[in-house]
Structure 1
Amino acid sequence: MADRVGGELERLAAFDDSPIVLAYTPSFVLPRRATGELTLAPGAPSSPPPDSALRLEPRPAQAGGGAAPPTVPRYAPAFAGPGEDDPAVEIEIVGLRLVSAGGPPPVLSIGTWRGEAAITPERLRFSVPRGAFPTDAARASFTSGSLAVRHASRTTTFQLLFTVLPDKPGSFALDQRVRTTVSESNTLVSPEILSRAPGGETRTVRRCFDPPAGWRFDRDRRRVVIVERLGWLDDIPDETMNGGSVEFVPEDAPGQICLAVVAKPVTKAARTATIGRFEATLVRDRPVERTVQSGIRALDWNEPARVPIEPGMVEWKLYVRLFDEIDREYEGKADQGAAPAGGPFLSIAIDGDGKTLVLRADPKAVR
C-alpha cells in the first residue's frame, strides 16, 4: 500500500522536478515545563444571588475595603530544573526531492536557530531546542520556520508554521445549581369546641381537622387544652360536678387530627359544659435553590483540576477559557450521568463515585 501511494505521488510530481513538502510534524509545539510559578488555592466562595451570570473577568473591588478571604499558597513544581530542561522539539518533514545527490543537506531556520537535517529516505529530521520557539505565558502563538532545500543548482524555500502552546492552558469556573429541602414549622391553634350536657347526661362533641394545604401535622408535637370545665348543681356553679375531658381520638382520614370534648356529670342531677381545643405543630418541606460558584481557577498542563460536586446538585454549567481567548461552555444535569467529552486540549469527566468533576488539560489531546 505504501509503495502504491509513493508511486502515485511520484506520478503526480512528475510534471515538475522541484522539491515538494507533503507534510510535517508536529503542528503544535508542546508547552514549556513548569517554572516554579506560585499558584494560590481559591478561598471559600461567597454565595451569589440566584441566576447570576458568571464572567471570567476579575470582579470589581468592593467598596468599604473588606478583607479578602485567606488563601493557601502552593508552589508547582517543588524544585526548579536547569535552563535547558525542556526536551528538544523533534521535527519530521516528508516530501519529494528534498535531498540532491552530492548537494548540501537542507537547513531549517527558526528564529536565530539554524540546523542541518538528519536525512532518511524522503524524510528530514531536525532536533530543535525548545527555546527556539518564542512562548507566551497565557496565549497560543505562531512561529514560522524556513526550510531551505538545494536542488538542481537552485535553492527552494518552504515556510513551515508551528502553533506554540502557552505555559498556562487557561482557566475555568463552575456554577452548580443546588436544590435542598428546608423544614419549616408553625403552630396551629384550633377553634374552641363546646360540649354541653343536661342534668344527668354525658355528651361528646367530636371534630376532625385537616392541615392547611402543603402542611402536615407533627404527631409528636401536639397537646390538648381544657379551656374551661363548668358544672352546676341546683343552678349553683360548681366545676367539680364536671368529670368531662378533652382528648385526641382516632382520625377519620390519614393526616387528620380528631378531638373529642366530653361533658360528663359526676352526679345525676348536675349539668355540665366543657370547652376544649388543641395545639399542634405544622411542618412542611420547602425546596430551596441556590447557586454555588467555584470562582475562577487555573488549569494546569501537569495536574488535573478537581471540583467537588455539591450534595443536591441538579445541574451545572462550566465556563472554560483556553489560551486566554477561546471561550467554551459546557453543561450537565445530575441525572445525565456522563459529562461532556470536552474539546481540543481538554477532557471533562466525572469520577467513579460521582462526587468530583475532573478537568484535565493535555497538550497532546488534539481533537
Structure 2
Amino acid sequence: MTPPAEVVSINHFILFGISVMRCKSFILSLFIFLAVVSSPARADLTPAILAPSSDVKDIISHFRAEMSALIAQAGGEARVTLMRAFQLSDQLIQSLTTAYADSVNLTFGALDKQQQKAFSDTLSAINEMGKAVRDPVGKGLQLGNTFAAITADVFSWTKKPMVIAYSPSYVAPSSISDTVRIAISGVRLHATGVAAPKLRIKNTDFAPSELTDVSIGFVVPRTVFSEPTKGTGFETGTLTIFRPSGSWIGGQPEQIYFSFLFTVLPNQLGSYTVNTIAIEKKKEEKLLKTEPLSATKNGGGGDVTKECYPPESGYVFDLLRVKTIEDKHTAYKDDDTSPGTNFGKVQIDEGVKTEKKICISVSATTGCTECGAHTEGHLEAWMVRTVDEEKPLTDGPNLLKWEEDPQPIRLKDQAISQIITVRLFDEITRRLPATSRQSLQFLTIEPDPRNNVVFLAPQREWNAR
C-alpha cells in the first residue's frame, strides 16, 4: 500500500510527485512550493506561519514544502556536504507529522511553551538550511546537530513510533559493494501481533534482516539503486511500521510511514591535477665591451695605460672567454710610418684576472728618439650569472578510482608551491596544498616529505558529517 503523501517524506514530495492530500494542506503546500522554486532568491520563512491561530498540521505542511524545495535546489556539493542535515531535517519533520497525526484543529497557540519552541527552532533551522544550500561548505555538521537536538525535544513528549537515525547517508558505487545495509534506530519500531516493518525502494519491498523495538536492519542489493557514471543524486526509500489498530473491535493495523533520503555516489570517484610552480636555474650572460684605452709615446721610450674593470652587479666574469682587442697600432720614424716600429701591445694583466676584476694595459714603445708610437685597445669579456626562474608545471587531470590503492605522486624539488586540485564526482572542487595532510569526505591526501611524494588515498568507508 502506497503511503499518503502527507506522511511521505519531503524527498518523495519532490522526487515522486504529489499524491492525494487533504485539500487544505495540499493547497497550502503547493502554493509555498511553487513560490519557492520560482523565485530567484528565496527569502527566509516568515514567522507569521507561527501565528496563534495557525493550524499545527498546516505549519508542518509548510515545513515539508520548504524542505522539499531545498532538496530540489540542492546541487552536487550540497548533496554531499549537507547530507546529514538533509536526513535529520527530514526525520524532524516526519517526527512532527507522526507526533501530531491524531490532532484535530490543534492550533499553535494551544501548544505548551516547549512545543512552541520546537516549532520556532525548526523554522529558524530551515531558514539556515536555505542559506547553506546556496553556500554549503562547512555548515553541514552544525545544521545536523541543530535538527538532531530539536528531534530529541519532540521525542521527549510523544509516545508515537519514532525513527531517530538511519544509515547509510551515501550509497556506495557498485565497484565497492554489491549490497547496501540500511540500519535504522528509534523507539517503538515494532509491536507484537502485527506484521514486521517493511522497506520499499523503487516499488520493491524488503523484509528486515534484523528487528527489535529500537532497531531495524535491511540488506538490499546495490542494483536497486541507480548507477551514475558521474555526479551524485538523491534517492529515497519508505519504511512502513505496523501498529495495532487500537480499537477494541479489532480492524486493520495502523500504518505509519517514514521515508529515507540517500545520496547515491557515482562509479567514477573523480580526478586530480597537480599544479606546481617550480624553481629552475637559468644561466644568463652579457658581453662587456669597454671603451678604447690608448697610449702614445713620442721621442723614444715607452708609455703604458692601465685600467681595471668589474662585472655588472650580480654577474661574474667567465675567465675562459676573456680577450683584448687592438683597435689601433701606429708608429713613425722620419718618413717611415710602418707600425712595426711600435713595440707596444694590448694585454691582460695576468696578475689581476679574477671573476670579479680584470685589468688590462695598453702600451706604446719605440726604440729611437726620432720615433713615435700610438696604441689603442679594449677588453671584451663575457659576464655570466645564474638566476632562479619560476616555471609553471601541470600534471593532469588524472583519474581517481574507488578501487585503486594509493599511488605515489612525485613532487618537484625546490618548488615554490604545489597545489592539488581535486574534482570529486565532476561536481565538487577542492584546491589543497600537496605538502599538507588533508582528509576529505572521500579522499585523503597523505604527503611523504622524506621521499618527496604524496599519496591520494580513496576512502571507502565514510559517514555523513
Scaled by the length of structure 1, what TM-score is found?
0.71
Q: CA deviation at 1:167?
A: 0.7
Q: What does residue 431 of structure 2 align with?
A: 329
The answer on 1:302 being equivalent to 2:391 is: no
1:126-137 aligned at under 5 Å gives the runs 126-137=218-229
- Relative to its length, the structure with more strand (as a share) is 1
Identical columns (%): 27
Give the letter aligned to residue 278 of structure 1.
Answer: L
Q: What does residue 275 of structure 1 align with?
A: 376
Q: What does residue 113 of structure 1 align with?
A: 204
Q: CA deviation at 1:178?
A: 3.2
Q: 1:170 aligns with which of 270, 273, 283?
A: 270
1:137-216 aligned at under 5 Å gives the runs 137-153=229-245, 154-216=254-316
Change in 2 beyond 3 A, CA 1:349/1:15: closer
For the residue of structure 1 that corresponds to 2:340, the secondary structure is helix
Give the letter aligned to residue 256 of structure 2.
Answer: T
Give the letter aligned to residue 208 of structure 1.
Answer: C
Q: What does residue 361 of structure 1 align with?
A: 458
For the residue of structure 2 that corresponds to 1:207, the secondary structure is strand
Change in 2 beyond 3 A, CA 1:94/1:20: same
The separation in 1 between residues aligned to 2:293 and 2:243, in whole angstroms, is: 113
Q: CA deviation at 1:112?
A: 3.5
Give the letter aligned to residue 315 of structure 1.
Answer: S
Moved more, 351-360 or 162-171: 351-360
Q: Deviations over 1:207-258 (max 9, x none)?
A: 1223345544222211122334434445633433333332212449972321
Q: What does residue 264 of structure 1 align with?
A: 365
The separation in 2 between residues aligned to 1:330 and 1:11, in whole angstroms, is: 40
Change in 2 beyond 3 A, CA 1:10/1:268: closer
The separation in 1 between residues aligned to 2:409 and 2:360, in whole angstroms, is: 54
Structure 2: state its 5+ residue gaps. 1-150, 246-253
Structure 1: state its 5+ residue gaps. 1-8, 35-85, 333-337
For the residue of structure 1 that corresponds to 2:366, the secondary structure is coil
Q: What does residue 56 of structure 1 align with?
A: none
The separation in 2 between residues aligned to 1:14 and 1:316, in whole angstroms, is: 52
The separation in 1 between residues aligned to 2:378 and 2:272, in whole angstroms, is: 60
Change in 2 beyond 3 A, CA 1:126/1:266: same
Q: What does residue 181 of structure 2 align with?
A: 90
Q: What does residue 64 of structure 2 align with?
A: none
The separation in 2 between residues aligned to 1:296 and 1:238, in whole angstroms, is: 75
The separation in 1 between residues aligned to 2:320 and 2:353, in whole angstroms, is: 19
Structure 1 segments of 4+ aligned residues over 6 angstroms from their partners: 9-12
Q: 1:31 aligns with which of 173, 176, 183?
A: 173
After superposition, the CA RMSD in angstroms is 3.2
Q: CA deviation at 1:297?
A: 3.0
The separation in 2 between residues aligned to 1:113 and 1:266, in whole angstroms, is: 120
For the residue of structure 1 that corresponds to 2:223, the secondary structure is helix
Q: What does residue 320 of structure 2 align with?
A: 220
The answer on 1:22 being equivalent to 2:164 is: yes
Q: CA deviation at 1:151?
A: 2.1
Change in 2 beyond 3 A, CA 1:10/1:167: closer
The separation in 1 between residues aligned to 2:339 and 2:456, in whole angstroms, is: 78
Q: What does residue 356 of structure 2 align with?
A: 255
Scaled by the length of structure 2, what TM-score is found?
0.57
Q: Deviations over 1:279-326 (max 9, x none)?
A: 212334455444323343332112246554345532244433322222
Give the letter aligned to residue 309 of structure 2.
Answer: F
The separation in 2 between residues aligned to 1:204 and 1:29, in whole angstroms, is: 92
2:301/2:368 contact within 8 Å kept: no
1:94/1:122 contact within 8 Å kept: yes
Q: Deviations over 1:149-199 (max 9, x none)?
A: 122332211111122111112233333333433323343332222111233
Q: CA deviation at 1:120?
A: 4.2
1:97/1:151 contact within 8 Å kept: no
Q: 1:345 aligns with which of 434, 442, 446?
A: 442
1:18/1:151 contact within 8 Å kept: no
Give the letter aligned to residue 172 of structure 2.
Answer: L
Q: Deviations over 1:3-34 (max 9, x none)?
A: xxxxxx99985744321111112211111118
- Relative to its length, the structure with more helix (as a share) is 2
Q: What does residue 344 of structure 2 align with?
A: 244
2:284/2:384 contact within 8 Å kept: yes
2:178/2:223 contact within 8 Å kept: no
Q: CA deviation at 1:129?
A: 1.0
Number of equivalences: 303
Change in 2 beyond 3 A, CA 1:281/1:14: closer
Give the letter aligned to residue 30 of structure 1.
Answer: A
Give the letter aligned to residue 88 of structure 1.
Answer: T
